[in-house]
A = this chain, B = another copy of it.
Amino acid sequence: MDVAGKRVLVTGGAGLIGSAIVKRLIEMNADVTVIDAMLPQCGANRRNLLDIADRIRLIASDVRHPASVDGLVDGIDLVFNLAGQSSHLDSMTDPLTDLDINSRAQVVILEALRHANPRAKILFASTRQVYGRPMYLPVDEAHPVHPVDVNGINKLSGEWFHRLYHEVYGMRTCVLRLTNTYGPGMRIMDARQTFLGVWIRHLLGGEAFEVWGGAQLRDFNYVEDVADAFLAAALSDRADGRIFNLGSPEVVSLRQVGEMLVELNGSGRFEIREFPDERRRIDIGDCYCNFGAIGTTLGWRPQVLLRDGLQRTLDYYRRNMEHYT
């Protein structure tokens, strides 16, 4: 499948990953519609789409409402389904909002497709958070799921709905379980999307950033690598009905990431802090993923080293800080 001329819908398309995919689609001459509710607590930022604003249809509407979705799926060939609430802490303090976005809205989207356009392909952005505290490392797709927060439960439901609509209706759905994704376009106001955002904001602002714990091992994917994975899954029939982990061969402790950021910035410092209680009880400890299945099936593997990705991210926010704070 070639996306040139194809009609593509990107939910959450003003966010970090959504906007990276949108830019790639525009380069490939796709006909792109973005739907994004621009919720203040989520990842959307109009700056992310600035360069291509006149080449897309941007609809500021909310996938939680069937009326917002029903009219958009007709004639669509491909859906990148990235609208989500990603804050683990917010999911514990406001579980119904997390449920409505990450679980209920997925039914709204899948039902709209099933009724109007069951041959469209749809890719769902899930999270390795569904595994909970790993029983073994690296975590592969056969690892039991055991969500440790409301967000993990609702993302898991969102996954199940995509799987079910493949299994029962033969719809072309695919789920990617993302690890920590970072890069230009991410939320830096706070840690709602990734803790790296707030670290970078403080670092560039000349303040110390806080590293909670520090010993936890994690892997990270640069946003362009994640966009590549979504496009590879979109373009291959072999992804239909599948669930794939993303991940990275570079496994590092949070302390090491902090040190790398300070080094790349040329100055700065961080403080190691004990976990706040409400964060500690939903923390998953060490977690990194086996991404062999998507490698074997679709030929994907991350291309951007952590050091290079962090450098590009620092460079971006040095120039664009004002648009993200």
Q: Name A's B-contacting residues (CB within 8 A).
A: 92, 95-96, 99-100, 103-104, 107-108, 111, 144, 147-150, 153-154, 156-157, 160-161, 164, 167-168, 281-282
**A278 closest partner in B (C-beta):** B168
Contacts A107-B150, A168-B281 known; 17 new A-B pairs at CB < 8 A: A92-B168, A95-B107, A96-B104, A96-B111, A99-B104, A99-B107, A100-B104, A103-B157, A144-B144, A147-B160, A148-B167, A149-B164, A150-B164, A153-B161, A153-B164, A154-B157, A156-B157
Docked-complex contact A149 and B161, CB < 8 angstroms? no
Docked-complex contact A96 and B107, CB < 8 angstroms? yes
In the bound complex, how far is the Cα of B160 from the Cα of A247, in angstroms? Answer: 26
In the bound complex, how far is the Cα of B161 from the Cα of A148, in angstroms? Answer: 10
**A104 closest partner in B (C-beta):** B99
List the 7 shortest-distance A-B pairs measured between CB atoms, nearest first: A153-B160, A157-B157, A95-B107, A168-B281, A99-B104, A96-B107, A153-B157
In the bound complex, how far is the Cα of B160 from the Cα of A149, in angstroms? Answer: 9
In the bound complex, how far is the Cα of B103 from the Cα of A99, in angstroms? Answer: 9
Docked-complex contact A150 and B156, CB < 8 angstroms? no
Instruction: Write out the residue numbers on chain B whose beta carbons fall within 8 Å of the beta carbon of A156.
Output: 157, 160
